Amino acid sequence: MSAPVILEGSGLTMRFGGLVAMAEVDFTLRKGEILGIIGPNGAGKSTLLNIITGIYVPSSGEVRLSGERLNGQPAHRIVGKGIARTFQSSRLFGDLSVLDNVIIGRHTHMKTGIFDVILRRSKAEAELAEAAAIAEGLLKAVSRGLYEQRHRPAAELPQADRRRLEIARALASEPKVLLLDEPSSGMDDADTDALMDDIRALCAERPELAMMIIEHDMRLVASLPHRVLVLDYGQKLAEGSYEEVRLIPRVQEAYLGRKAAQNAQA
């Protein structure tokens, strides 16, 4: 893939007291690329997303979006610059409707403040109506079934649709880069397959959107990402196509466990 690099990290190190959660990790992400991130529990996968999105400030190293240094900037500003994410554990507003959850994701693009709502109600209402129309379009783009449930409280959605809703909400900020932390967690195989189809359709519709997907489900890792980054104990173990990295014995040991590695060699 030779599209321009949109996001890159160099020498990323994250210490928590004596624990080194990430050590000198480099990565690049190109426009339109899907980068898979795999590694055992505690490998530093979520830490990497937290560094990129400004939730953690790395102990050293740099993250750059289209060449501009991001680390050191507050998380809300980083979202405004075009990086959106979902979280490993669901973070929806359960009492609010599906549609309202997506509208909230547009807050970085809305100019209306509380004074406008009180003093210039018609302007605020017009902006809200526009946000609702955009949110409906996003729900349709992510999943027709989700769109049809747009007036239900988010808490009533089945798990798979809640994960989809989080993706729709992240897209509402009009990101250039979308980061997904274990989007298939808690799903069975059929739901995971349906989610993969939805993500594929989304990528086809938005060929410029770059994605990083942390994932444990190997079927998803094998079929969606263009490239895979393998982390282990905060270090980069390997990087390449799934076909390349899955054959590296250290990756098999770290990720699949020694036993599975021996079976794979046999």
Ligand X SMILES: Nc1ncnc2c1ncn2[C@@H]1O[C@H](COP(=O)(O)OP(=O)(O)OP(=O)(O)O)[C@@H](O)[C@H]1O
Instruction: Give the binding site for Mg ion (CB under 5 A).
Output: 45-46, 88
Which of 134, 251 has the CB closer to ligand X?
Answer: 251
- Give, rounded to a whole angstrom, the gap between the first and last alpha carbons of the chain: 33
Which of 108, 185 has the CB closer to ligand X?
Answer: 185
The angle subtended at Cα 244 by Cα 240 and Cα 247, nearest 5°, is: 135
Which residues ranging from 43 to 72 are in contact with ligand X (CB under 6 A)?
A: 43-47
**Residue 39 binding result from ligand X, Mg ion, none, given CB thresholds of 5 to 8 Å by partner type:** ligand X
**Residue 254 binding result from ligand X, Mg ion, none, given CB thresholds of 5 to 8 Å by partner type:** none
- Give me the least distance between CB of 157 and ligand X, in Å please: 23
Cα–Cα distance, 49 to 63 (Å, whole number)? 11
Which 3 state secondary structure label does DSSP give 208? coil
Which of 51, 65 has the CB closer to ligand X?
Answer: 51
Say whether residue 86 binds ligand X (CB under 6 A). Answer: no
> 12, 23, 34, 39: which one contacts ligand X (CB under 6 A)?
39
> 66, 88, 108, 235: which one contacts ligand X (CB under 6 A)?
88
Residue 170 near residue 178 (C-beta atoms within 8 A) = yes
- Give me the least distance between CB of 99 and ligand X, in Å please: 30
Q: How far is CA 105 from the centre of its chain?
A: 14
Say whether residue 9 binds ligand X (CB under 6 A). Answer: no
Residue 220 near residue 196 (C-beta atoms within 8 A) = yes
Say whether residue 19 binds ligand X (CB under 6 A). Answer: yes
- Helical pair 121-142 and 159-171, crossing angle rounded to 10 deg: 130
How many residues sit in the footprint of ligand X (CB under 6 A)?
12
Which 3 state secondary structure label does DSSP give 28? strand
- List all residues 6 or more positions away from 263 whose beta carbon is below 8 Å from its beta carbon: none
**Residue 176 binding result from ligand X, Mg ion, none, given CB thresholds of 5 to 8 Å by partner type:** none
Residue with tokens 């807050």: 107
Stretch that binds ligand X, among 34-42, 70-78, 96-104, 245-253 (CB under 6 A): 34-42
User: Judging by DSSP bridges, how do beta strands 83-85 and 68-69 pair with one another?
Assistant: unpaired
Sites of contact with ligand X (CB under 6 A): 16, 19, 21, 39, 41-47, 88
